[in-house]
Structure formats: C-alpha cells, structure tokens
Structure 1
Amino acid sequence: MWLRKSHQGLKPMRITRQFSGISSATLNQMMRSSGGLTHLRHLFDEFPTSRNLVSWNILIAGYVRHGCIPTALHLFDEMRHRDIVTWNTLFSAFQNKQDYHSTFQYYRLLQSSGFRPNHYTFSIVITSFLVSSVDIILPQIHAQIVSLGYSSNAFVGSALIRGYTKLGDHSALCCVFRDILEKSVPVWNAFILGLMDLGLTLEAHRAFNRMPRRNVVSWTILIDGFLKNDQFQKARYIFDKMDEKNIISWTAMISGYVRLGKYFNALELFPVMIRSGTRPNQHTFSSILAACAKHSELLIGEQLHTSILKYGITDEIVVLTALVGMYAKCGNIDAAHRIFKTLPEKTLPSWNTIIGGFAMHGLARRAVNAFEEMTSGGIRPDQTTFVHVLSACGHGGEVLEGERIFVSMEKTYGIPAEKEHYACMVDLYGRAGLLDKALSFIKGMPLQADVVVWGALLGSCAVHSDSEFSSNAVEAVLKLENDNPAVYSLLSKIYGEKGVWSSVTYLKNKMKENNIKIHKAGSWIG
C-alpha cells in the first residue's frame, strides 16, 4: 500500500502490513479519532479486495461516532452483505439524533430484507420511538418481541417498560416486568421509575421494598419520584435513611426542594452536604443558586459564588447563567451583567436570564439592546425571550419599541403570540395611559383573553384611577374568577381615590360575605 506525500517532496513509502492483516482491535482504535478514521478510509479504498464484513462495520461505526451519518448511510448502501451489527449501528445513529422517521424507515427495510432483529435491535428501536407517538408502534413491536422469544430479555423489557410508561399503560407495564426472567437492579429501577412517572407512589415504594438488591440509583429514583409527585416529606424520609449518598442523590433532593418552592429547605440542606464531604457539581450549584434567587438571599449567593471559584467550576455555562439570575433577582443587576459578559458561550437561556433581569429592574433600553445583540449574533429568540423584552418595554414606557418587537414575533421569527405576550402588550399600553388602546387590543385578540390579560388592564386602571375602563375588566375577570381578591382590592383603590366611599364600603362587605381575603401585592403578568 502507498501513502503519497507529494506536498513534502517525498517519494511514496511502502507500507508492508496488508489491510486484511490489521486486527479488529486496531481498526476500532483507529476509528476513534478523525485522523485515524481518515487513514482507515484510505486503507479501505486502496485495498477493496481486503475488505470484509468486520472492516465495513467498523468504518460505518467510525463515521457514526463522528456524526457523519450521510457518509455512513452511503457505505451502508454500497454493502453487498450485511449482518445485524450493521443494522444496529445505524439504529444507534438514528437514536442519538432522535431521528425516529429514519428508524421506522430502516426498521421496515430490515424486516423486508429477511433479517431477524436481536435483543439489542429491539432495545434501540423502542428507545428511538420514545421521542414520537408510540401508541400504535409499540404494541406491534411488542408482539414481534413475544413471537421471537425476547420478552424475557432484560434489555428489551427495560425498553418496553419505558415505552408503556410513556403510554400511561399501567397494566402492560406490569405484564412486561413479570415476563422478565432475570430481574436485575436496572430492571427494578426502570419499573419503579415507570410507576413513579405514572403517579403510583405507593406501588413504587412497595416495589422498592421487594427489591432483593438496591444501589444508590434505586434510592435516588425513589426520592426523585416522591419529589415529582409533591411528596417532599416522604422523599426526605427516604433520603435520610440512605446509608451512602452521592452527588446525584444530594442534588436530586436539593433540586426537588427548589422545584416545589421549598427554598429554605434547600438552603438548609446544602451545607449539610458540604459537611458530608460531597463535592457539589454544576447541577447542584445551579439548583441552590435558584433557591437563593427565589428567596432573595444575596449574602448566601455571594458565598456560593466564592465556593464556585474555589471548586474551579468557572467555565460551566449552567452555573454562570444561574449566577446571572441570582444576582439579577437579588437586586445586583450590575454584577449579573458583569458575569454575563464573561460567559465563554452565550446560550439562549443565558440571554433570556439577563434580558429578564433588565426587565425586572425596569431597564427597558438595556433589555432591548441585549435583545438586538442576541438576534444579530445569530441566536434565535423563543417565547420566553419575548415575554421578558415586552415586559421590559412596558416597565420602561417603550410603546413603539414594544409594538415593533411584538409584530416581529410572528413576522420575523414565526413564533405565534401566546396569552402571556398579549398580557405584556396590554400592560405596555396600560402603563402608558393608553387604556382605550389596551381595551381595543384585547377585543382584537385571536385568543380568548384570560384573567391575566384582563387583570393587566385592571391593574393599569388602578394605577391611573380610571373607573370607566375598569368596569370592562372587572366584569370580564369576575366571569372567569368570581372570588378573585385582587379585583376587589383594585376596585377599592380606584373608588377610594375617586372618593366614592359608598362603593368602597359595599366592596368590603361583599368580601366579608364571600369570605374573600386580600393577598400580598403581586403582578398579574409576573
């Protein structure tokens, strides 16, 4: 074989080892790097007579590994002889790309070609279909699995459990579990996770107690399942019983508290974790910083920032974005912006965080500038981005800018406006005193206005002490929620400032009669 290096002025060099003599282990090692894969392809093309099924499969696997799926498919089409390994390699590629359309197409081709799927084929194919609608496909594949005698296989059974969990089919889930002969710990874990996802916490706990062996994953699945089903006390009880906790179980408990709004519990648990000798990771810091942001704990947040520097987790986007959000929500928008500027990569969530921070602080122009910088840099906004920037325009009185951005949602980015965006526009007009325009905007909405939309108008009427337009908002809100305390509170304010004390007294009596209590102040649109 010859390697030509004419650009270096060298003569061709003879490679004495034949392509067919290279071991499979060496070929596998070569395809792990892009340079090795190029060299392997050169050998493959130079010696077509030395090719065999193993070399074809390894080369295809190499292209799949490096994300070159079209090249892998081209080689697949050129193959005269394939085996089930060839097919499984392609199915793995489709699964990684979440390309269930190609999975379905090639699975049908496999069957028409006379190949018999093995347990690995079924496991990959089922997993690929989980990103799509599996209600029709899964039972058909299950029938094939039974007919080919794979229903007792642990790999296949675990995939089926995940599939029937997505379908919400408790009966089929249990049948699949019973059919598996050797129930390993991963099989039990998949079963318990499925039951938890279906909300069957008691049954999941009973299954956990029946397990012959458990690992830390088993415990963490049970804890996370209770947390996802809003049973944080049971989750903490199980967590405290764990003999060995790892960072995943600690993070599951902390993030679960944050998700359920138990921010103080999360902040209390974090130092316990540190004292246990467990090193926090980026997900732990992200969760605990979110707790600081929600609980307005700036001092603790600053201490966590120091810990992040100490642990050297300074290049993790998720942690830096959480820091931006923490500083913004705790009142230090300048610190938030300084950290944002140091991000090695500015992702959509990080842009949304800083734009939301500017909006929260009423810095409309900075929010709009950030939005323009983001879009000009090639980052495509999403619905959350528009909620933040429209809210900023409302707080800053940027009516024309808000109108322009609202129109660009669908016209430029193809994003249909949701009720939150309409509420932001109503708030924008209302804050600017354009109550007639706000009411016309609501009446022209293609969606049915909800309490948040009408509430934005009512709030604006209270700001401007306008009783004329408030009557429309009050009537609409009470039709949707006739016991909403904010309505009575805002109406009392409007009538009080107008000096219509008889109406104020009437509203107070009405509230007592219906046992309606005034809540703490808040915003209709967040």
Structure 2
Amino acid sequence: MAPPVPLSFSRQIGALSSIVLNSMIRKCLRDSNLKEALQLFDRNPASRDVVSWNLVMDGLIENHRLNQAQRLFDEMPHRDVASWNTILSGYHRARDQSRVYLLLRKMGRFGFFPNEYTISIVITAFLGSKFSSLVPQIHARVFHLGLGSSVFVASALMKGYANIRESTGLQRLFNELLMKDVSSWNTLISGCMEIGCIEDAERAFRTMPAKNSISWTSLLNGYIINGRIDKAQLVFETIQESERNVYLWTVMISGYVKDKKYEEALMFFISMVNSGAMPNHFTYSCTLSACALTSSLLLGQQVHVRVVKYGMPNSVVLLTSLVDMYAKCGDIVSASRVFQKMQNKNSVSWNSIIGGLARHGLGTRALEMFEQMIEEGTKPDQVSFVNVLYACGHVGLVREGEAYFKSMKVKYGIEAELKHYACMVDLYGKAGELDKAERLIKEMPIEPDVVVWGAFIGASAMHSTRKLSEFAVQGIERLKKDHPAVYSMFLKIHAEEGSWSEVTELKRMLGRKHVEKQKAGWTSYQKELSPAKKQYPMT
C-alpha cells in the first residue's frame, strides 16, 4: 500500500499557477466583472506575481477607484516599470498633474528608469498645466536614456513643445528624427498650427511624402483653431468627395459651431447626409449644438430620428446634446423624456436638464433635480450653481438661494465667480431686498462687472430706488466700460421720477462716449434669422 500524500503537497496541487490566475483575472476584467477579479486576487495570494498586481490595479483605475489602486500599489511586494506606468496613467486620467510629477520623481528614487510609455503618459498629463515647462528637461532625460530615436516618444515631445509654444524645439526635434513616418508629419502640422505658424504647417503639408486622412484633418482643424474657417472650407472643397470621410465632415461642422456660424454648420451637416456619408455621435452632437443655438427644433427632431434609426451607441455626450437641444428649443417635455431614459449621466447632463427647467420657469422642479443629482452621487460644479441660483431667483426662494450660495464654498469647495454674484444680486433685487444686494456687492472679493451692476440697476429700476441706482452709476463708471442696456436703464429710472435734467445729461454723455442705443435686442435678431421656422430638407 502506497504511503499517504503529505498535506502540504496536496495544497500545492490545488493551487493556481500565476499564468492561470492572470488569465482568469484578465477574463473577468474583459467581462467588466471587477468584483470577481478582486475575489480571485484575494483568494490566491501564493499565486500572485507582479502581473497579477498590475492587472487588478488597472481594473480599479478603469472603474474610477483610484484611491484603492493607490493602496494596492503601496502594498506591492515587487514592482516593475509597468506598475509605475499603470498608477501614473490613473492620475493622468484624474487630471492630477501634481501627483504625476511626484510619482515620476519617486520612480527615479526607487531606481526605475522610464520607458517610452512613461514619457508619453507624463508629457500628455503635463500639457496645459504649469508642469508643461518641464518638457525641455524631459527631452534631455529622453536623450540620456537613449529613447530619442523612438517615433512614439518624439511625437509626445513634439506635442509638448507645441503646448509651450516653442517652435524652435518642435522643428529641431522633428529634423533630428531619423525615421519620419506619416504620424510624425501629422504631429508637426498640428504643432505648427497650435503655435500659430500657419505657413510652416502648410509647407510641411506640401512637403510630406504621403498623406492620410489625419493629415487633412490636422490641416483643417489647424485653420479652424487659428480663426481661418474660410480657408478650411477652401481646402475641404479641394478634397475629392470619395475621400471626405466622417472625420473631415465633423471637423468642418464643429469648426462652424466654434466660429458661431451655426446655419453654415447645419447646411454642412445636410450636405454630408445627402452625400451618403454616415455621421457618428460626435457629428450629431455638434449638429445638435447648432440646432440648440439657432432654435432649429425641426432639424433637431430629424437628427434625433436618425440617431434612433441607425442605432447610435449609448453616448453620454450625444444624449446630453439632445437634452440641451430640446431644452433650448422650447420642448422641455422631450428634454425631460430623453434625460430620464439616459442610463449614464454626468455633471453636464444634469446641468443641461436643471438649466432647461430653470429657463422654462420650472424653478421648483429644477431644484428637485439638483437634489436628485446630489443623491445619485454626481458632484455639482460652478455651472450647476449658476442654474440653481437662477432657479431660486425665478421662483423667489431667497432663503434657499442664500443656503445654496453659502454651500458652494463650505460644502463643495467651489469659489463663487461673477456669474454667481450676478444671480444673487438678481435674486435679492426681484425680492425687493436691495439692501442685501448692495451689501453683497460691497463685500465681493472680486471687482463687480457690468452684468452684476446691470442686475442691480435692473432691480433699482423695478423698485424706483434712485439712491441705489446712483450707487450703481459710480460702480459702472469705475469699470470705464459703456453698455447701452445700462444707460437705457438709467434713462428709464430718471424719466419715471421726472428728473429731466439728469435725462438730458445722460443723453449728452451717450453722445460724448459714442455709445449707440441698441435698436432692438434678441427679438429683432430672431426675426431676421427665424431659425425655428426654417426647414432643412434631408434626403
């Protein structure tokens, strides 16, 4: 009879190998089953290797659990460069440039050298921040590590030099590349355009040996960011119709929206559809923005029908654009219906529906939606509080407005800006509490602008309070800015009180300062444009 097998050997037979464990963790993460992946990781401590730790850490980051990923990183018995890259990418996604910088320094102190992926993460994270000034130092580090020949690293560095508007470094880096592929040329074109060197970008576009769709997109987008939408259109027209893909069409539509040429954007969208090109959700989102800003409800509805017909993905950006379009076009019922069907919502989604309800006079409902947003875990931002304070002003909820205004700093750490103060002044003014409005203006930590003073003057006109309006006059004069609406309010106040000498003096002042009274406001523009009545046929 064979001797019994030792218990310790039986345990070894039942244990998973590192390769099997990692394969199972990968499958769980691919299936979006983080919970099971964590259970596998916890139940098999003896089978873990550095890959296991990296996989779980990456899964936590993908599921927005960065703090837990950081704790896991700190507990790792052994790390490799991939471990550092994983946690760096997490803080890059969280837009925490300071932590990326500290981790990069810590990485060096622990004896790890950055690789190509590390350099790309760090530079991309630093773009547009105070740390972007470190790009030349990172370039020197890249040279020391012998990574300068990498096209991947060179492209990241070129973007960095473009971000700090260093054209010499950008061009020198490109010239030093031994192997220049089409992506390198595209990065050069985009970088030159970002700096504003349009002629250099055009020269590179003409010189490059081969072009792809991204080359054309970089050129068009470069013209747009430099305010040359007309030039972009001329170049677009030279592209053969068979080569005009969805990205080129979308760049043009987005460009016209950015340039506030909304009708041109809509006409471009219609031309795109009639050409047979299939829009994507970014195309639809840009088009819906143009519909919202021109009150083109009919076309917006047609876009919505196409979104449903062609089964667009459940995009938060696209659905939020639909909510915003319906709200701004006056159909708050449809806006609410789309919002309620959204499976995922972000702060922009909530702001769109809250702002829409407030603008439609449904202040109480807007405040209820704000509270629901908080309950569901979405943190409000500055736009959220502008909408909430506006809603309070519309329904006369002064005490509630004061509470929300105070909670901005105390509860959410959001500093009040001019638009928040303007809403509060308007709230006090509509409620007749002008003394509070005056006190708030005097206590403002920033200089009031014409919008804040305009809200105060409007309240003074509403309640015929000449003394307070004179307080506003002094504030407006300190700004050294002239605004037709403000002077019109002054004229109205003095005329109603019969102070004709002041009326004469104000008119004389208008003449001296060459401030022209506006013939009409938004109403006349609407009559001229009348977008809601226009029909845009789509085949």
Q: Same fold (TM over 0.5)?
A: yes
Question: Aligned letter for 1:240?
Answer: E
Q: Cα deviations across residues 355-388 of structure 1 (Å, max 9, x unaligned)? A: 1112212222122222222223322211111111
**Corresponding residue for residue 60 of structure 2:** 67
Relative to structure 1, is the Cα distance of residues 511 and 284 closer, same or farther in structure 2, using a 3 angstrom cutoff? same
Q: Is the 8 A contact 1:391 1:424 kept in 2?
A: yes
Quick one: distance in 2 between partners of 1:282 and 1:348?
Answer: 19
Quick one: distance in 2 between partners of 1:416 and 1:43?
Answer: 46
Structure 2 unaligned blocks of 5 or more: 1-9, 62-68, 524-539
Q: Cα deviations across residues 399-452 of structure 1 (Å, max 9, x unaligned)? A: 222122212222222222111111111111112222232112211222222222
Quick one: distance in 1 between partners of 2:325 and 2:270?
Answer: 18
**Corresponding residue for residue 359 of structure 2:** 360
How far the C-alpha of 1:199 sits from its partner, in A, is 2.5
TM-score normalised by the chain length of structure 1: 0.84
How far the C-alpha of 1:316 sits from its partner, in A, is 2.6
Paired positions, count: 499
The one of 121, 124, 129 aligned to 1:127: 124
How far the C-alpha of 1:273 sits from its partner, in A, is 0.7
Quick one: distance in 2 between partners of 1:438 and 1:313?
Answer: 48
The one of 152, 155, 158 aligned to 2:152: 155
Quick one: distance in 2 between partners of 1:372 and 1:115?
Answer: 47
**Corresponding residue for residue 31 of structure 1:** 26
- Further displaced range: 205-214 or 111-120: 111-120
How far the C-alpha of 1:266 sits from its partner, in A, is 0.7
**Corresponding residue for residue 511 of structure 1:** 510
**Corresponding residue for residue 312 of structure 2:** 313
What is the correspondence of 1:44-443 to structure 2 with a 5 Å cutoff?
A: 56=49, 58-67=51-60, 69=69, 73=73, 77-78=77-78, 95=92, 104=101, 107-108=104-105, 111=108, 117-130=114-127, 132-135=129-132, 137-243=134-240, 244-313=243-312, 315-443=314-442
Q: Does 1:454 align with 2:424?
A: no
Quick one: distance in 2 between partners of 1:312 and 1:365?
Answer: 35
**Corresponding residue for residue 6 of structure 1:** none
Relative to structure 1, is the Cα distance of residues 208 and 40 closer, same or farther in structure 2, using a 3 angstrom cutoff? farther
Q: Is the 8 A contact 2:97 2:131 kept in 1?
A: no
Quick one: distance in 1 between partners of 2:247 and 2:319?
Answer: 20
Relative to structure 1, is the Cα distance of residues 358 and 90 closer, same or farther in structure 2, using a 3 angstrom cutoff? closer
Quick one: distance in 1 between partners of 2:393 and 2:118?
Answer: 55
Question: Could you say what secondary structure the match of 1:415 adopts?
Answer: coil
Q: Is the 8 A contact 2:123 2:157 kept in 1?
A: yes
- Further displaced range: 151-160 or 119-128: 119-128
Question: Aligned letter for 2:187?
Answer: A
Question: Could you say what secondary structure the match of 2:470 adopts?
Answer: helix
Question: Could you say what secondary structure the match of 1:78 adopts?
Answer: coil
Q: Cα deviations across residues 126-182 of structure 1 (Å, max 9, x unaligned)? A: 334447533554322222222344334322211111222222222222221221122
- Further displaced range: 188-197 or 478-487: 478-487
Relative to structure 1, is the Cα distance of residues 370 and 210 closer, same or farther in structure 2, using a 3 angstrom cutoff? same
Q: Does 1:463 align with 2:455?
A: no
Question: Could you say what secondary structure the match of 2:488 adopts?
Answer: helix
Quick one: distance in 1 between partners of 2:381 and 2:440?
Answer: 23
How far the C-alpha of 1:268 sits from its partner, in A, is 0.8
Quick one: distance in 1 between partners of 2:39 and 2:444?
Answer: 62
Quick one: distance in 2 between partners of 1:392 and 1:146?
Answer: 57
Quick one: distance in 1 between partners of 2:466 and 2:43?
Answer: 84
- Further displaced range: 512-521 or 155-164: 512-521
How far the C-alpha of 1:345 sits from its partner, in A, is 2.5
Q: Is the 8 A contact 2:186 2:218 kept in 1?
A: yes
Identity in percent? 42
Q: Cα deviations across residues 69-90 of structure 1 (Å, max 9, x unaligned)? A: 45873685336xx6x6676566
Q: Cα deviations across residues 299-343 of structure 1 (Å, max 9, x unaligned)? A: 222222222221223733222221221121112222222222222
Q: Is the 8 A contact 2:322 2:335 kept in 1?
A: yes
Question: Aligned letter for 2:60?
Answer: G
Relative to structure 1, is the Cα distance of residues 39 and 295 closer, same or farther in structure 2, using a 3 angstrom cutoff? closer
TM-score normalised by the chain length of structure 2: 0.82
**Which structure exhibits the higher relative contact order, with contacts defined as CA atoms closer than 8 Å and separated by 6 or more residues?**
2
How far the C-alpha of 1:507 sits from its partner, in A, is 3.1
How far the C-alpha of 1:233 sits from its partner, in A, is 0.7
Question: Aligned letter for 1:452?
Answer: V
Question: Aligned letter for 2:385?
Answer: F
Question: Aligned letter for 1:31?
Answer: R
Q: Cα deviations across residues 82-117 of structure 1 (Å, max 9, x unaligned)? A: 6x6676566556655656566555644654566655
